[in-house]
Chains A and B, each alone.
Chain A
Amino acid sequence: MIRKLTVREALREAMAEEMRSDEKIFVMGEEVAEYNGAYKVTQGLLAEFGTKRVIDTPITEHGFAGLGVGAAFAGLKPIVEFMTFNFAMQAMDQIINSAAKTCYMSGGQVRCPIVFRGPNGAASRVAAQHSQCYAAWYGSIPGLKVVSPYSASDSKGLLKAAIRDPNPVIFLENEITYGFSFEEEYDEDHVVEIGKAKVIREGSDVTIIGFSLVMKYALEAAQQLASEGINAEVIDLRTIRPIDRTTIVESVKKTSRCVTVEEGFPFASIGSEVSSILMEEAFDYLDAPVKRLASVDAPLPYAANLESLALPKTANIVAAVRDVCFRN
Chain B
Amino acid sequence: MLLIRRFEEKAGQLYGMGLIAGFCHLYIGQEAIASGMRHTMKNGDKVITTYRDHGHMISTGSDPKKIMAELLGRSDGSSKGKGGSMHLFDFEKHFYGGHGIVGASVPIGTGLAFADKYLGNKNVTYCYFGDGAAHQGQVYESFNMAKLWNLPVLFIIENNHYAMGTSQKRSSSTDQLHKRGEGFNIPGLKINGMDIFDVISEGQKCVDFVRTGKGPMIIEFDTYRYRGHSMSDPATYRSKEEVSCQKEKDPIDSLRHEILTSKIVTENDIEKIDEAIKSEINEIVDFAKNSPEPDESELLTDIYN
Residues of A within 8 A of B (CB): 26, 52, 57-58, 60, 62-76, 93-94, 97-98, 102-111, 142-143, 145, 166-167
Contacts and interface: CB of A to CB of B under 8 A. Distances in A.
A60 B141 contact: yes
A103 B80 contact: no
10 contacts: A58-B141, A64-B145, A67-B142, A69-B111, A71-B111, A75-B115, A94-B108, A103-B303, A104-B302, A108-B305
Contact of B91 (A68, A70, A110): A110
A107 B111 contact: no
B305 A67 contact: no
B148 interface: yes
A145 B83 CA distance: 21
Contacts of B104: 66, 93-94, 97-98
Nearest to A102: B97
B175 to A, nearest CB: 25
B178 interface: no
Interface in B13-39: none
A71 B142 contact: no
Contact of A107 (B82, B109, B113, B114): B82
B82 A105 contact: yes
Contacts of A142: 303
Given A63-B141, A111-B305, 11 more contacts: A63-B144, A66-B107, A67-B107, A69-B111, A70-B48, A74-B96, A76-B114, A104-B82, A107-B79, A109-B79, A166-B305
B297 to A, nearest CB: 13
Given A64-B145, A106-B79, A108-B302, A73 B108 contact: yes
Contacts of B71: none
Contacts of A64: 107, 141, 145
A71 to B, nearest CB: 4
B264 interface: no
B303 A62 contact: no
B65 interface: no
Contacts of B48: 70
Interface residue tally of chain B, by bracket? 35 or more
B295 to A, nearest CB: 13
A67 B139 CA distance: 11
B108 A66 contact: yes
Contacts of B98: 105-106
Contacts of A97: 100-101, 104
A75 to B, nearest CB: 6
Nearest to B91: A109
B115 A106 contact: no
Nearest to B79: A107
B115 A71 contact: yes
Contact of B305 (A63, A66, A94, A103): A103
Contact of A74 (B87, B100, B115): B115
Interface string B83-98: 1000101110000111
A66 B78 CA distance: 23
B114 A66 contact: no
B77 interface: yes
B97 A62 contact: no
Nearest to B139: A63
A72 B141 contact: no
A63 B112 contact: no
Contact of B89 (A63, A71, A110, A145): A110
B290 interface: no
A143 B118 contact: no
Contacts of B89: 102, 105-107, 109-110
Interface string B278-305: 0000000000000000000000011111
B305 A167 contact: yes
B46 interface: yes
A177 B138 CA distance: 33
Contacts of B46: 74
Nearest to B89: A106
Nearest to B87: A105
A62 B115 contact: no
A107 B80 contact: yes
Contacts of B78: 106-107, 109
A73 B47 CA distance: 12
A70 B111 contact: yes
A67 B114 contact: yes
A73 B112 contact: yes
A206 B137 CA distance: 50
Contacts of A74: 46, 96, 111-112, 115-116
A233 B1 CA distance: 68
Nearest to B153: A70
Nearest to A143: B303
Contacts of A26: 118
